[in-house]
Chain A
Amino acid sequence: MMIKDVIPGFELFKPKTVAEAVALVERYKKDAWKMAGGNDSIAWFKDRVKRPKQVIDLSGIAEMKGVKETPDGIEIGALATLTDIEKSPVIRKSYRLLSDAAGAVASPQIRNSGTVGGNVNQDARCWYYRAGLPCYRAGGTTCFSDTPEGQNREHAIFDAARCVAVTPSDLAPVMVALDAKMVIRHAKGERVVSAEEFFIGPRIDITKMTQVKDNELLVAIRIPKTFAGANFYFEKVTDRNAWDFPLVNVASALKTDAGGVVQECRVAVGGVACTPKRFAAVEDTVKGKKVDAALAKIAGEATGRGARPLNYNHFKVPLMANLVTRAVRDAKA
């Protein structure tokens, strides 16, 4: 602890174009910190826990802002603010799942400055990690949360691998549910990965939440037309109604035919694992059927299998089951 205040000095870059920004991350790689809205970054800096040598302030890159319609759906600049997304007419009309989730993030002030890129790339909220303790995720050799006395109410019930932190993002499960494509730029070009691959767990890289490499930049997110105008459900369960991270959140997109039979279905749950969690059992239960309360309940209860709660978070098992039940039962156009 000693002192957790006053931002230590760093070299600040304010690129105006994606090309400039990509050149900077290529040059400085892991020494550089990519900052968008700054909500997560400034807190880390002020606590003197993360001490980058270079900070690349992306906020001046015009080409990474805004929401535009494309022949295949929409493309959202990584710097579009959460308020932009919450208020975007096209998103509200065809991809309400996304605007609902954006509107559920934190507070109006944070939504005004927070960006979609920052939201999906945000770091874990595990309080031990945030306190600056030398845990696995911080490059250390232990996990402080998964111990007999660990205060791990907010932590994972699935897929623990040394680290038990969860994805704190409200947009992450939505991106998975909408089968979003994440556009990543690097010095040699661009690669596009699906949201489901984009979010990574500790098995792949324990120090990162996404597969964006040090010398890469998330520049845009493309939402395909697959679920445009489908039945959606988003819910975020928190301790209080503003400025709170999800204990569990859920996003679902269900496409039905004229008779109400589910053609396509994706359900993703946040706050239960390090990445948004899809359940084959849930989607298989629902696909090809007309949803009723009984089927939704079966789908919800199918989530619990394989859950491995820690000392303080087994409540997430029934909570997740009920949320998935709702996400199937109460999804609406």
Chain B
Amino acid sequence: MAYDLVGKNFIPHDMVAKVTGAAKYSEDFQAEGMLHAKLLLSPMPHARVRSIDTSAAMKIKGVVAIITPDDVPQFPPPADPILYKEATFAGAPLLAVAAESEAIAAQAIEAIKVDLEQLKHVVDPLDSLYPGGNNAFTGGNVANVRLPLQTIKWTAQDFQGFDQGKMPMGKPAEEWKYGDLDEGFKKAKVVVERSFLTAGTSHHSMEPRSAMAYWQNGKVYLHGSLQSQSFGIPPLARLCGVKPEDMVFIAEFCGGGFGSKGNPYPIMAVPAHLSKKANGRPVMMRITREEEYLLGSGRAGFQGWVKMGFAENGRMTAMDLYCVQDNGPNMGFWDFRNCGHSAMVVFQPEAMRFRGMSVLTNTPPRGPQRGPGENQTSMALEPIIDEAAKMLGMDKLAIRRINAPDNDGFDFEGQHMGKFTSAYLKDALDKGAEVFNWDAKKKLSGQRNGNKVSGVGIGQAFHAAGSNGFDGLIRIMPDGKLYVHSGVGNLGTYSYASTARVAAEVLGYKWENVVVVNGRSDKHLPWMIGQFGSNTAYTATRTNYVAAQDAKNKLLEIAAQALGGAAGDYDLKGERVVSKADPSKSMSFADAAKKAVELGGKFSGKELPGDINPLTRASATALAGTGLMGVAKDTLAKRGMVPGLCAGFCHVEVDVETGDVEIKEYVGVADCGTVLHPDGLQSQMHGGAIMGFGLALTERIVYDHALGLPANVGFDQAKPPTYLDMPKIFKWAAAEKPDRDNPVGVKGVGEPIQGAAAAAVINAISDALGGHYFHRTPVVRDMIVNALNKRPQSYRPLQANTM
């Protein structure tokens, strides 16, 4: 379908501010009388606070307020505390000081006496599951969202074969299955069974999670770094101890979150509580890079096992999958559930069982990171697909193609069979094979070029990429302009703007006459899901579409009232309502907006639909009477889950003397429906793949297991990829097949881009090494050197959080 705006490039209005440095992030805000906060961090991985003596600190001139866990709201475990009474990781914030300067605050921290009772800690989930193993939290060792805190210990029998590298599999916390697993394996020609480990990784958000807050007239004003806007208000209000209507949240920009700032996080509330204790004086809490690594967030690691059966034609007849998630010490995120779900979506096994659990460790708190669970699963399972292809004598593309989901594919997430709104992974694979020239490139496998040997690989990944049921809110104002109120955040994809263009598209607006209203909750924004889960492109195109349709209907009605005839006699053209029969009969949108104000009622938002969210209702009520309002809840049809899918193709050269991996070429292809914003998609296709290269090659959380202390607390230690690690040939494409249940055919895709790239790189390395599979990520240089020299690896089998 031909569009005027959808699918075209544009310059989002905040772009210039970002590239010139004019953009203000949380830490850039200053306020009259602002105090500075510093945190006291636990030096121990697991400890109980016996007592805190702040008397000496309070005597220091310039110290204004100190808060301890008793001053902040408490939440039942395993919810992440704001300040910790039981420190469950090294770096857990125990208290906070606000002072006239950072130097004074730091001096005060060192003057505070904290008496800690050291408790036993655990760094590796399997150590905690072993009989007699330590618990990371006094209340238990297993927990997650919707998985209550409990203690699970396996038996020594469960650990038989562990020393040889076999994943132990005792009682899981969750389990689901469909189909006849035994039958599936029975009819398989090839059955492969492997244990695997994927390392946890830090988020490396460029902007640390600094925040500034103050109180005015009973409301708390908070400048914070968050991916989301409206969706964050209720939880942030809860953290600050106020009602949502008393929460003003300002976050026009977000300097990277990658999932770790999708929802408000507890530390954000610290300046609000300090400010309260300081009679509302503004408090700036600047989070350091090291603190970002310690208490920011990380991706969960996996220890797992899988058994897959394949028919002669490569079709997966059965999959049995077990996943233990290293969850850090708190609530964490359901990566392990996404492990089972993504394996099911990408490979569509005829029968499948999934078992899994989320185990607590005294390592950084974990949260969702780009493709949480799905991308670890890609790295774990895609190499095994290559092994199976080899056993079957099949092409690596062909075995993926035969299993890849299409529109007839099925979805299952532990409850019931469902459908996809659309799935074009086969198309993505085909397009990737064409752009990469798979048939020619696969012949490079094993070819020597001096000290270097070539390998090629394919990766695939998935993430559910779209939601529904949220609200759109737009206004056509008497100045003739369109104001699109956006409740999504601004995490850096510009989708707050590209999705707003759908409202302009529906109404036939020129983009220069559109104002996107976003970034502050007091700008009266609609209820909208958070900017996470690759969903914004899908979800917000729908809400803006329905709001624009509502506005369109009102424009037509107003024209009919003003110029005679029926609404159906009119159309929209050139920002005017024009009679179909007599184009000389028309009225401008500006005049229609003035008329809407006169008419009131539904036209100007004085009467509102009954099904919109209370937050949207409050915003619309505040804006009522200012212009012609389009406001609606998205009740459009949606037949099932929205799969964002990606296929990646990679050529590497491995130096056999140094283990150096050079990514010579990478091609990623997205199944994201209609391309909404090509430049935006390109930056996702590149950025996501770059993060994937990091997952594949260098990034991991490392702990000294005896001390419970982290080794990687800086960019230089945690090693995200650099500009010089990029492939020289770096291409992308999209399947460009519209989604069936989005009004403009759009789906999200941000997350699977990373997993596809990571898996493609890993597979290409193994291909270069003549089929040596590590079943462990990242594939770090020393692992390659050891493999090339036929030396044993240094880590113990399935050992987590280690070098």
Contacts and interface: CB of A to CB of B under 8 A. Distances in A.
B803 A323 contact: no
Interface stretch (A58-66, A79-87, A308-316): A308-316
A133 B44 CA distance: 12
Contacts of B791: 314-315, 318
A107 B705 CA distance: 32
A330 B232 CA distance: 59
A244 interface: yes
Contact of B40 (A3, A8, A311, A319): A3
Interface in A107-144: 107, 127-128, 131, 133, 144
B706 A149 contact: yes
Interface residues of A, number: 44
Contacts of B722: 107, 240-243
Interface string B771-801: 0000000001110011011010011000000
A9 B103 CA distance: 9
A21 B203 CA distance: 43
Nearest to A323: B658
Contact of B110 (A2, A152, A313): A2
A237 B288 contact: no
Interface in B278-296: 288, 290-291, 294
Nearest to B721: A240
A3 B704 contact: no
A237 B794 contact: no
A134 to B, nearest CB: 12
Nearest to B39: A3
B141 to A, nearest CB: 20
B102 A6 contact: yes
Pick the most buried of A235, A243, A245, A318: most chain B CB atoms within 10 A of its CB. A318
A168 B795 CA distance: 24
Q: Which DSSP category, helix, strand, loop or mixed, fits chain A's interface?
A: loop
Contact of B657 (A3, A150, A153, A325): A325
B61 to A, nearest CB: 15
Contact of A3 (B38, B719, B789): B38
Interface string A229-252: 000000101011111110100000
B736 interface: no
A306 interface: no
A256 interface: no
A284 interface: no
B597 to A, nearest CB: 53
Contacts of B291: 5
Contacts, number: 131
B288 A315 contact: no
Interface in A151-187: 151-153
Contact of B658 (A2, A128, A133, A319): A319
A322 interface: yes
Interface string A94-118: 0000000000000100000000000
A326 interface: yes
Interface stretch (B504-512, B535-543, B710-718): B710-718
A275 B702 CA distance: 26
Contact of A315 (B660, B716, B719, B785): B785
Given A2-B109, A315-B785, A149 B43 contact: no
Pick the most buried of B109, B716, B791: most chain A CB atoms within 10 A of its CB. B716
Contacts of B709: 131, 133
A144 B702 CA distance: 15
Nearest to B711: A127
Contacts of A149: 704-707
Contact of A237 (B102, B294, B660, B705): B660
Contacts of B782: 153, 247, 312-313, 315, 319
B716 A237 contact: no
B429 interface: no
Given A151-B702, A240-B721, A312 B794 contact: yes
Contacts of B91: 1
B interface bracket (residues with beta carbon within 8 Å of A): 35 or more
A70 interface: no
A147 interface: yes
Contact of B706 (A8, A148, A319): A148
B549 interface: no
Contacts of B705: 149
Contact of B38 (A6, A151, A152): A6
B745 to A, nearest CB: 39
Contacts of B781: 237, 239, 247, 315
Nearest to B790: A318
B786 A315 contact: yes
Interface in B400-422: none
Contact of A6 (B40, B106, B711, B803): B106
Given A127-B711, A239-B780, A240-B721, A5 B288 contact: yes
A144 B704 contact: yes
B703 interface: yes
Nearest to A1: B43
A4 interface: yes
A232 to B, nearest CB: 18
B41 interface: yes
Contacts of A325: 657
Contacts of A237: 658-660, 781
A221 to B, nearest CB: 26
Contact of A242 (B39, B290, B724): B724
A315 B794 contact: yes
Contacts of B290: 4-5, 47
Contact of B794 (A133, A242, A311, A323): A311
A8 B108 CA distance: 12
A144 B707 contact: yes
Nearest to A242: B722
A147 to B, nearest CB: 7
B327 interface: no
A227 B214 CA distance: 66
Pick the most buried of A144, A237, A325: most chain B CB atoms within 10 A of its CB. A237
Pick the most buried of A1, A148, A152: most chain B CB atoms within 10 A of its CB. A1
A282 B132 CA distance: 52
A151 B106 contact: no
A240 B725 contact: yes
Contacts of A148: 706
Nearest to B112: A2
Interface in B35-61: 38-43
Given A6-B106, A127-B711, A312-B803, A153 B789 contact: no
Nearest to A147: B706
A312 B794 CA distance: 5
Contacts of B90: 1
A150 B704 contact: yes
A333 to B, nearest CB: 20
Interface string B725-761: 1000000000000000000000000000000000000
A243 B657 contact: no
Contacts of A315: 659, 781-782, 785-786, 789, 791, 794
A225 to B, nearest CB: 32
Contacts of A4: 41, 288, 290
Interface string A1-28: 1111110110000000000000000000
Contacts of A312: 782, 794-795, 802-803
Contact of A153 (B659, B703, B803): B803
Closest 9 CB pairs of A and B: A241-B724, A315-B782, A6-B106, A149-B706, A242-B722, A322-B657, A153-B803, A1-B43, A318-B789
5 contacts: A5-B106, A240-B724, A243-B716, A315-B791, A319-B658
Given A240-B725, A319-B659, 18 more contacts: A2-B109, A3-B106, A3-B109, A5-B102, A5-B288, A144-B707, A149-B707, A150-B704, A237-B658, A240-B721, A242-B722, A242-B724, A312-B803, A313-B782, A315-B789, A318-B788, A322-B658, A326-B657
Interface of A: 1-6, 8-9, 47-48, 107, 127-128, 131, 133, 144, 147-153, 235, 237, 239-245, 247, 311-315, 318-319, 322-323, 325-326
